[in-house]
A and B are shown apart, each in its own frame.
Chain A
Amino acid sequence: GIQVEQSPPDLILQEGANSTLRCNFSDSVNNLQWFHQNPWGQLINLFYIPSGTKQNGRLSATTVATERYSLLYISSSQTTDSGVYFCAVEISSSGSARQLTFGSGTQLTVLP
C-alpha cells in the first residue's frame, strides 16, 4: 500500500518562530489534505492541495506531485497552533478502493 511519511515527528518552537513540516508519499495522488488535530480531537481542514501552492493567513502549503512531497509552512507561530498536524493522501491507482491514508503526524508544541 501507499507509504505516507511525515517529518519531523516532534517539533518544539518558541512563539513567533517559523516552521516547515514535510509529507512524503510513495505513489501518485488524487487528493492530499493537511489537517490540524486540536487537543479535543477535532480534525480541522487546513488545505486541500493535490498540487500547487496555497496560502491562508499565516499558513501556506506546497505540493510537488511529480516529486511526491508536500510542505506545510507555519509563520509567526502562536500557542494556539499547538497540536498534531496530519497529512493524508488518496492514491490515484486504487480504483474502487479509494480512501484517505494518513501519515503518522507531526506533534507541534509552541511555547509562550
Chain B
Amino acid sequence: DTEVTQTPKHLVMGMTNKKSLKCEQHMGHRAMYWYKQKAKKPPELMFVYSYEKLSINESVPSRFSPECPNSSLLNLHLHALQPEDSALYLCASSLRQGGWGNTEAFFGQGTRLTVV
C-alpha cells in the first residue's frame, strides 16, 4: 500500500474562517511534507516533518500552522487566509527525510482550497 490520504478534497473558506487540512499515511514513513501548488506551476515545499519534529519551514506565513500529532498524521491549520492563498495543497511522505537509500516520496491527491 503506497497511499497517502488527504481530506477534504475541496475546501472553500472565508478570510475570517479557521479550517484544517488533514493527511494520513500507514506506510511507516517518518518524514511528511506539505507542498503548495498554484495553477500551471510546480509544487513548492512549505514544511517538512522528520520523526514528528518540524525540520524545514520555508518561510511560510504564520497563518499556516502545521502539526504532526503522530507518525501517521499531518495537519495544516489555516487561519485568516488571503485570496492569493487559493491553491492545491499536497501532502507527501517518505521513509525518511533524504540521505542515502530509498527516499521515494508518495503524494496524496491534494486539497483544492479556495479562499473567498
A55 to B: closest C-beta gap in Å: 17
A30 touches B99 (CB 8 A): yes
Q: Does A17 contact B (CB under 8 A)?
A: no
Residues of A within 8 A of B109 (CB): 40-42
From B41, B55, B99, B107, A43 is in contact (CB under 8 Å) with B107
Chain A nearest CB from B109 CB (Å) reads 5
The interface residues of chain B lying within 8 Å CB-to-CB of A42 are 107, 109-110
What bracket does the count of chain B residues touching chain A fall in? 20 to 34
Contact with B along A19-63 (1 / 0, CB 8 A): 000000000001101010000111101001000000000000000
Residues of A within 8 A of B103 (CB): 30-31, 90, 98
Q: Assess whether A100 is in contact with B45, with CB atoms less than 8 Å apart.
A: yes
Contacts of A90 in B (CB 8 A): 98, 103
Q: Known contacts A90-B98, A98-B97: does B43 contact A43 (CB below 8 Å)?
A: yes
Number of interface residues of A (CB under 8 A): 24
The answer to whether B98 touches A98, judged by C-beta atoms less than 8 angstroms apart, is yes
The reply to whether B107 and A33 form a contact with Cβ atoms under 8 Å apart is no
Q: What are 21 A-B contacts defined by CB distance under 8 Å?
A: A30-B99, A31-B103, A35-B107, A40-B109, A41-B90, A42-B110, A45-B104, A45-B106, A48-B104, A86-B43, A90-B98, A90-B103, A94-B98, A96-B55, A99-B56, A99-B98, A100-B33, A100-B92, A101-B45, A102-B43, A105-B42
A: which residues have CB within 8 A of B?
Answer: 30-31, 33, 35, 40-43, 45, 48, 86, 88, 90, 94, 96-105
Point out residues on B near A: beta carbons under 8 Å. 2, 33, 37, 41-45, 48, 55-56, 88, 90, 92, 97-100, 102-107, 109-110, 112
